[in-house]
Structure 1
Amino acid sequence: MREQDLDWVLHHEPQLYPFPWTRGNFEDSLASGYSCWIMAEADAPVAYAVVMQVFDEAHLLNFSVVLAAQGRGLGARLLQFLRDTLRGRGVTQFFLEVRPSNLAARAVYEKAGFASIGRRKGYYPAEDGREDALVMRVAP
């Protein structure tokens, strides 16, 4: 992902999340040197991810497959790419948070080997206040 990709990302972000990331969130991620990826299929972008690595640990901060491309296994392919890349960089633990209510995302993560290791109370904004996050981990 590069700065010039942000208009495309920001077009899709509010379609995918009730509380989407802002341009500033993505710009800060790029400026901080996080691994920011765009996945393309037939030269058309279909997914994106933002990963922060600190030493031998990595944290998936944003993981998104556009609506029109969901249900085709692209999320699983992108996760595998991330895991392979992180393993090659010496990462031994890969973490993420997910809403307990996001059953589709949880299924993708669980199928990829992520296991729930905890809960963050009130982590996500929600229509009626806050929603917890499940913390998940896998060894790349």
Structure 2
Amino acid sequence: MSEAVREAPKKERPQFTNIHVTQLSNYRLPLAGVVSILHRISGFLMFALLPVVLYLLEKSLLSEISFEHFKGIASHWFMKLVILALVWGYMQHFCAGVRHLIMDTHVGLDKDSARKSAATVLVISLTLTALVALKLFGVF
């Protein structure tokens, strides 16, 4: 009996190595990884555009004349895109942050739940951003 146990073929464990830059196009990141990277990107975006937000806040609060100037700035199509990028960054960062806080309580850590919560974060943040875009560009 001990011979039969010894002769059983061992499963080879897969070898994981670092990938090279040329292999990035072939690498498929899981959905939870995409949400994690988008969380970092949205946090950086909100930080990098903080001077724009503070400038717009100053223009809107200084006086009635500066508020009219603010409305003129904010009505430009490029500025609307910047505002929309900030809205997406906030929505993505907030939804992913709530997901991470829930995962900190050890809820939804298994692979299937993590995939579903990542998909939920993407759907909610993109839906809310689309609604703000429709309002921002005057559709409703």
Shorter-chain TM-score range:
under 0.3
Normalised TM-score (structure 2): 0.25
Normalised TM-score (structure 1): 0.25
Query: Which one has more relative contact order, counting CA pairs under 8 Å at least 6 apart?
Result: 2
Structure whose CA Rg is larger: 2
Greater share of helix residues, 1 or 2?
A: 2
Greater share of strand residues, 1 or 2?
A: 1
